[in-house]
């Protein structure tokens, strides 16, 4: 985390959260500053160290460090979650669709997967519910990430015995679509119109129109090429999990708290801080030129309907109809076929362009 970003967090917490304001005792001695308290919380989250490990560096005991961490994660969630752990806006969706088109996947807005966080001090009565086989108890994080490692959806809390399909049944990832609160998306693949964006997934997810899986048993060069490219792009969410654990070792190490609610707040706060860092450093490592998109050009064959109203009243019949569209297996197979053909033609154009450049370089 860069220093300006950290100081912005410190300034806002010191101004809006009572716990982080510097106070005086009865002898008019100043207490701990907001910088000390925020530094303590960040060090515990980033290094996953014990609460009393900052005593020599910041002069805080274990009890005060625990209060700093608890108030810090609650303040981060209350102050920054609406901006840094939000659902995609129409502008965000248009940018994600544009990047997906540049990568060869029209209508793709990210990838989805699950991560397990080990719970060391799980209650004995709950271990059977949270342990898979002979392993340790874990809690599942269901997340959606895009090309720049931004986490758009984070659902944390299901027990570790559940697989990705069981977690998906509990996850609210499609609630906005079912309740008609999501912006309307339109894109064309292989001269066919589609109105639901999709995520790239691994093979365990169901055959829905909102998911595109790889080809498990690839027969032929076309299928092998599509499987390789799909699996390469799908790794965005895996990279996001790796970067999240590298930045915040408390998520990588086993959770020591007895309270599941506090563990959930820590995971949510770390996801928000991760997105803040991604926004701060996005221009440094992005591999895609979005200058045409920023100028309002190059939208291609995918776009978001900005005139679509998200205040439409819903009822059970409409919700069941939308859910049936999401779970349409036949539409999923057609979209997978069209996406593979479109991706292969996209790759062929790249090879033709490279060959043309090489030809002109040699003979002109």
Question: Does residue 305 lie within any of the structural domains?
Answer: yes
- Tell whether 36 and 17 lie within a shared domain: yes
| pLDDT given for residue 71 in this prediction | 95
312 lies in the same domain as 183:
yes
| Spatial contact of 54 and 36, defined as CB atoms under 8 Å apart | no
3-state secondary structure of 274: helix
- To 10 degrees, the CA torsion angle through 227, 233, 237, 242? 100
Whether residue 283 is predicted with pLDDT greater than 80 in this model: the reply is: no
Note whether 109 and 80 are same-domain residues: no
Task: Determine which of 40-49, 154-163, 172-181 has the lowest per-residue pLDDT on average.
Answer: 172-181
Query: For residue 255, what are the domain limits?
Result: 90-350
SS3 178: helix
**How many domains is the chain partitioned into structurally?**
2
Last residue of some domain: 84, 114, 145?
A: 84
The CA distance from 82 to 211, in Å, is: 26
Instruction: Tell me the pLDDT band of 285, cut-offs 50, 70 and 90.
Output: low
197 with 208: CB under 8 angstroms?
Answer: no
**pLDDT reading at 240 higher than 70:** yes
Of 36, 63, 84, the position where a domain reaches its end is 84
Classify residue 152: in a domain, yes or no. yes
Domain co-membership, 122 together with 78: no
**More confident call, 223 vs 173:** 173
Q: Which of 70-79, 139-148, 338-347 has the lowest mean pLDDT?
A: 338-347
Model pLDDT for residues 32-84, shown as the tens digit of each residue: 889 999 999 999 999 988 888 888 788 888 899 999 999 999 999 999 999 99
In this structure, are 172 and 191 located in the same domain?
A: yes
**329 and 297 belong to one structural domain:** yes
This prediction has a pTM of 0.87
Q: How far is CA 29 from CA 14, 15, 24, 25, 62, in A?
A: 18, 20, 5, 6, 21
Indicate whether 359 belongs to any domain.
no
pLDDT confidence bin for 351, thresholds 50/70/90:
low
pLDDT band at 286 (very low <50, low <70, confident <90, very high): low
For 80-111, how does the pLDDT look when each residue is reduced to its tens digit (9 = 90+)?
999 999 988 888 899 999 998 888 888 899 99
Q: What is the C-alpha to C-alpha distance for residues 37 and 60, in angstroms, rounded to an integer?
A: 9
Helix ranges, the chain (H): 3-16, 34-47, 55-58, 62-84, 90-102, 127-130, 164-170, 175-178, 221-247, 249-252, 260-285, 291-294, 316-326, 329-363
pLDDT confidence bin for 347, thresholds 50/70/90 = low
In this structure, the answer to whether residues 225 and 78 fall within a common structural domain is no
C-alpha torsion sign, points 85, 91, 95, 97 = positive
* Same domain? 294 vs 333: yes
At 292 the pLDDT is 52
User: Which domain-ending residue is among 23, 54, 84?
Assistant: 84
In this structure, are 21 and 96 located in the same domain?
no
Task: Give the mean pLDDT of the chain.
Answer: 84
33 in a domain, yes or no?
yes
Average of pLDDT values for 314-337?
A: 81
Same domain, 200 and 337: yes
Q: Hey, is 155 helix, strand or coil? A: strand
Count other Cβ atoms within 10 Å, centred on residue 326.
18
267 and 176 within one domain: yes
Q: In the β-sheet with 198-200, what is the strand arrangement from edge to edge?
A: 151-159, 138-145, 108-118, 198-200, 211-212
| Confidence at residue 298, expressed as pLDDT on a 0 to 100 scale | 45
Q: Which 3 state secondary structure label does DSSP give 308?
A: coil
Query: Checking DSSP bridges between strand 211-212 and strand 198-200, what pairing results, if any?
Result: parallel
Pair (174, 272) in one structural domain: yes
What's the alpha-carbon Rg for the chain, to the nearest Å?
A: 24
């Amino acid at each position: 985390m860069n220093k300006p970003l950290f100081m912005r967090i410190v300034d806002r917490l010191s101004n809006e959260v009572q716990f982080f304001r510097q106070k005086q005792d009865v002898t008019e001695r100043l207490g701990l500053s907001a910088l000390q308290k925020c530094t303590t919380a960040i060090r515990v989250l980033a290094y996953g160290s014990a609460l009393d490990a900052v005593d020599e560096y910041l002069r805080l005991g274990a009890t005060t460090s625990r209060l700093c961490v608890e108030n810090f994660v609650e303040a981060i969630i209350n102050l920054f979650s609406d901006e840094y752990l939000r659902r995609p806006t129409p502008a965000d969706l248009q940018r994600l669709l544009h990047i997906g088109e540049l990568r060869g996947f029209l209508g793709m807005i990210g990838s989805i997967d699950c991560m397990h966080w080990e719970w060391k001090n799980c209650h004995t009565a709950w271990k059977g519910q949270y342990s898979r086989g002979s392993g340790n108890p874990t809690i599942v994080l269901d997340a959606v990430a895009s090309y720049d490692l931004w986490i758009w959806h984070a659902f944390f809390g299901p027990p570790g015995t559940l697989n990705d399909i069981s977690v998906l049944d509990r996850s609210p990832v499609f609630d906005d679509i079912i309740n008609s609160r999501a912006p309307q998306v339109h894109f064309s693949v292989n001269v066919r119109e589609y109105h639901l964006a999709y995520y790239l997934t691994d093979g365990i997810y169901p055959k829905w129109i909102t998911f595109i899986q790889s080809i498990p048993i690839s027969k032929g060069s076309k299928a092998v090429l599509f499987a390789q490219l799909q699996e390469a792009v799908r790794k965005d969410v895996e990279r996001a999990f790796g970067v999240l654990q590298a930045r915040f070792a408390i998520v990588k190490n086993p959770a020591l708290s007895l309270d599941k609610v506090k563990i959930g707040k820590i995971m949510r706060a770390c996801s928000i801080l991760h997105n803040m860092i991604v926004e701060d450093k996005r221009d440094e490592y992005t591999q895609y030129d979005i200058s045409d998109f920023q100028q309002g050009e190059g939208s291609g064959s995918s776009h978001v309907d900005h005139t679509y109203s998200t205040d439409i009243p819903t009822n059970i019949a409409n919700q069941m109809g939308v859910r049936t569209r999401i779970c349409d297996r036949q539409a999923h197979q057609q979209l997978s076929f069209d996406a593979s053909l479109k991706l292969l033609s996209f790759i062929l154009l790249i090879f033709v362009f490279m060959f043309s450049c090489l030809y002109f370089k040699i003979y002109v």
